[in-house]
């Protein structure tokens, strides 16, 4: 399947100022992300940004980049602007790869893109949870699927709730219990991506602070690719940055 990767990148970050430009083994983080994405087999990889410094860094390293408006409320809105500017066809597949994922698995990008189908305008990914603490961690987003691998619901709560198993103990995972952790990687059919910013914000999205619930609320299916193991973590903290720097320096 042919697909385009668009990487939204903003300099604003409360915990890590200038995060997209952080040096990783001699290259800015956003460049490292684009290089990993290019290994997915994408037809093209484009960085979407509102800052001239990111534009300059990408061009210096031969990475395609598009300047966007500065007032987008989310990365999804930002990539929608770029997809429109690129003149992508309505049925083109667009993958949103976050600009702070320099270790993202290229195969995961391709597999998520491949989940898009005529009746499925959006796809994402998940992996099995193996630690009970993650089940009860509200910062770990869980997803429950139907029998054909489409999302029924996303939540920060422990879903599905294992009634009998957790009645016995919450110290270990019950036998046969296989909750899924959501991975923040998204693919869209371009026609849906262009329509998404016009969808009204949903109450569930506001309660859970999970933007993808807007899609389910309005009745659109989301396919979920389940990968066997957790992907490498992104960069959110100074500790994350030090870990990733060790990878590229090693």
Instruction: Specify the pLDDT at position 26.
Output: 94
Ranges of each domain in the chain? 3-238
Instruction: Specify the pLDDT at position 57.
Output: 96
152-180 per-position pLDDT tens digit = 999 999 999 999 999 999 999 999 999 99
pLDDT of 94 strictly over 70? yes
17-51 per-position pLDDT tens digit = 889 999 999 999 999 999 999 999 999 999 999 99
Instruction: Specify the pLDDT at position 132.
Output: 96
Tell me how far apart the alpha carbons of residues 240 and 129 are, in angstroms, rounded to a whole number. 21
- Residue that has been written with the tokens 């290229």 in this structure: 106
DSSP letter, residue 197: G
Q: Which DSSP string do the residues of 10-71 spell out, in sequence order?
A: -S--SSSTTGGG-EETTEEHHHHHHHHHHTTT-SEEEEEES-HHHHHHHHHTT-EEEE--S-
DSSP letter, residue 129: -
Instruction: Specify the pLDDT at position 159.
Output: 98
Instruction: Specify the pLDDT at position 185.
Output: 96
Tell me how far apart the alpha carbons of residues 108 and 41 are, in angstroms, rounded to a whole number. 11
Q: Which residues pair with 214 in a beta bridge?
A: none
What is residue 182's three-state secondary structure? strand
Fold for 3-238, please state it.
Answer: Spore Coat Polysaccharide Biosynthesis Protein SpsA; Chain A (3.90.550)
**The two structure tokens encoding residue 132:** 């009970």
pLDDT of 13 strictly over 70? no
Instruction: Specify the pLDDT at position 176.
Output: 93
pLDDT of 14 strictly over 70? no
Enter the pTM of the model: 0.94
């Amino acid at each position: 399947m042919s697909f385009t990767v668009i990487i939204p990148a903003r300099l604003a970050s409360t915990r890590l100022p200038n995060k997209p430009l952080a040096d990783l083994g001699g290259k800015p983080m956003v460049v490292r992300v684009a290089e990993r994405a290019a290994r997915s087999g994408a037809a093209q990889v484009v960085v979407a940004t509102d800052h001239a410094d990111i534009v300059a860094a990408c061009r210096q390293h031969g990475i395609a980049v598009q300047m966007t408006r500065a007032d987008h409320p989310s990365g999804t809105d930002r990539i929608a602007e770029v997809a429109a500017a690129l003149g992508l066809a309505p049925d083109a597949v667009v993958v949103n790869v976050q600009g702070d994922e320099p270790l993202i698995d290229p195969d995961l990008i391709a597999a998520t893109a491949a989940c898009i189908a005529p009746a499925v305008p959006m796809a994402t990914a998940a992996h099995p949870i193996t630690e009970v603490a993650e089940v009860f961690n509200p910062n770990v987003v869980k997803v429950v699927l139907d029998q054909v691998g489409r999302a029924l619901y996303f939540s920060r709560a422990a879903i599905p709730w294992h009634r009998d198993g957790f009645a016995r103990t919450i110290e270990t995972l019950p036998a046969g219990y296989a909750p899924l952790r959501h991975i923040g990687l998204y693919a869209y059919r371009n026609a849906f991506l262009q329509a998404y910013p016009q969808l009204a914000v949903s109450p569930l999205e506001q309660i859970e602070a999970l933007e993808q619930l807007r899609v389910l609320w309005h009745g659109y299916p989301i396919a979920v690719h389940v990968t066997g193991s957790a992907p490498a973590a992104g960069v959110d903290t100074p500790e994350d940055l030090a870990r990733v720097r060790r990878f590229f320096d090693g």
